């Protein structure tokens, strides 16, 4: 199926960055189309309904990290409320849950040690080798933080990028994080005006892009096997890093002719892995774990599977989220859904001092999405590796005058790996395209 119509812009991917880019271009009456491989919008924002109608199940992004003006503006437009997430921590030590009152003060001092101005970059693993004076408990917490929050491998993540991200986080509204009452999908719905809805083609996986100086042809292979040919002046790839790298045959995009500069432009970036399980229990049995109610975060040693758990506090709901990031998450991705549930409950048994049999009886349902095996994600989000002094990464990757890259992978420092980073980068790419058209 061929079309003679030539769009000003075709955006590949209807996740946060793609929708943000499209929404801002449409405001300037740009003739565009958005092609999405999935049967839904949102990408790695994946909100589902639950047995409790007022409490959504988030299989992807959950928190608004810092008060991003762009996200807050979208929530204001849609009239959706949000609330502060609480982060009081209980730590499993010697078989008991304890509260470390000086935890944040001590940990902030450790987070301030990595140097974003180093002449020669190194991995965070090498950083730890050089800082032998860091106490073991703080060292373990730092490893857990890098693997958990950053979803990174400490042998690959660069000290300079890590330090810059932490500095930005302190500058951008401190450590405040928020949840959205109706779920993260509401942020994206704020972009979905009727004019944009009409421009999105779902179940349109792009498999090939043919290009020359005169025209660009985008080929989609539809579920029926039929091929659709679309023409454009500019193309925006708003897809995850692993898709750009061609890690899965199903989501691979072939360029004819090849663009040899593309992969080197991604060489400093790495795909982070996360396994997230949403447990809905019959009761809130954890509320008596501490005299300090409600319970917020529960932490086990970082070498245990699913070492981080949290409630929906301040909401008192029978939900616990089990979280594993980094190399152990990638390992878990090769297990079955039931095997991951078993690993998670084994850790929760140790944290709560409840028998495995008790926990299994308490489980009402478990919800998960294996992003590491999803062909259109192949991971959770991006982190930056060790700096290559011979190559300066582009903030706004642009190739041969027609191809643009956008997404959380290219967001600045603390925005990398976040929805607000993806939204902001999509907006910024839209501004660049308007200058180019």
Annotated binding site for FAD: which residue ranges? 17, 36-37, 206
Pure H helices in 100-227:
103-111, 124-130, 136-148, 159-171, 185-189, 194-197
* Residue 288 per-residue DSSP state: G
Burial of 325 (0-12, 13-18, 19+ CB in 10 A): buried
Sign of the Cα pseudo-torsion (16, 164, 382, 304, in order): negative
Known binding residues: 17, 36-37, 206
Q: What are phi and psi of 85, to 5 degrees?
A: -80, 145
CB 283 within 8 A of CB 363: no
HSE toward the beta carbon, residue 149, CA cutoff 13 A? 17
Task: Look at phi and psi of residue 344 and say left if phi exceeds 0, alpha if psi is from -120 to 50, else beta.
Answer: alpha
How far apart are alpha carbons 139 and 150 in whole angstroms?
16
How far apart are alpha carbons 151 and 167 in whole angstroms?
18
């Amino acid at each position: 199926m061929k079309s003679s119509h030539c769009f000003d812009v075709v955006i590949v991917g209807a996740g946060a960055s793609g929708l943000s880019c499209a929404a801002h271009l449409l405001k300037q009456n740009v003739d565009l189309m958005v092609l999405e491989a999935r049967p839904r919008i949102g990408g790695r924002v994946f909100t589902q309904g639950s047995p409790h109608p007022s409490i959504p199940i988030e299989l992807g992004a959950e928190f608004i990290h810092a008060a991003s003006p762009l996200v807050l503006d979208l929530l204001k437009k849609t009239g959706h409320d949000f609330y502060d997430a609480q982060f009081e921590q209980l730590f499993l030590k010697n078989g008991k849950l304890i509260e470390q009152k000086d935890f944040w003060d001590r940990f902030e001092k450790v987070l301030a040690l990595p140097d974003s101005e180093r002449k020669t970059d190194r991995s965070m693993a090498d950083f730890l080798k050089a800082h032998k004076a860091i106490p073991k408990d703080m060292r373990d917490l730092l490893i857990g933080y890098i693997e958990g929050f950053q979803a990174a491998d400490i042998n690959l993540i660069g000290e300079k990028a890590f330090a810059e991200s932490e500095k930005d986080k302190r500058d951008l509204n401190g450590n405040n994080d928020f949840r959205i009452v109706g779920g993260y999908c509401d942020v994206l719905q704020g972009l979905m005006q009727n004019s944009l809805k009409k421009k999105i083609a779902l179940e349109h996986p792009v498999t090939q892009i043919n290009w020359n100086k005169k025209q660009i042809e985008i080929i989609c292979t539809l579920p029926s096997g039929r091929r659709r040919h679309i023409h454009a002046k500019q193309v925006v790839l708003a897809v995850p890093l692993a898709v750009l790298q061609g890690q899965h045959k199903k989501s691979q995009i072939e360029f004819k002719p090849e663009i040899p500069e593309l992969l080197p432009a991604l060489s400093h970036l790495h795909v982070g892995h996360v396994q997230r399980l949403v447990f809905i229990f019959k009761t809130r049995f954890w509320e008596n774990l501490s005299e300090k109610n409600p319970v917020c975060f529960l932490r086990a040693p970082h070498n245990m599977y699913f070492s981080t758990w949290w409630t929906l506090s301040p909401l008192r709901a029978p939900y616990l989220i089990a979280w594993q990031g980094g190399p152990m998450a990638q390992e878990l991705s090769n297990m079955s859904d039931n095997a991951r549930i078993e690993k998670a409950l084994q850790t929760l048994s140790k944290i709560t001092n409840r028998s495995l049999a008790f926990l299994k009886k308490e489980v009402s349902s478990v919800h998960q999405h294996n992003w590491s095996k999803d062909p259109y994600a192949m991971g959770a989000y991006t982190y930056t590796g060790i700096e290559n002094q011979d190559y300066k990464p582009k903030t706004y990757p642009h190739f041969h005058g027609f191809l643009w890259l956008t997404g959380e992978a290219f967001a600045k420092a603390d925005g990398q790996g976040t929805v607000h980073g993806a939204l902001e980068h999509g907006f910024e790419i839209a501004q660049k395209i308007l200058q180019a058209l």
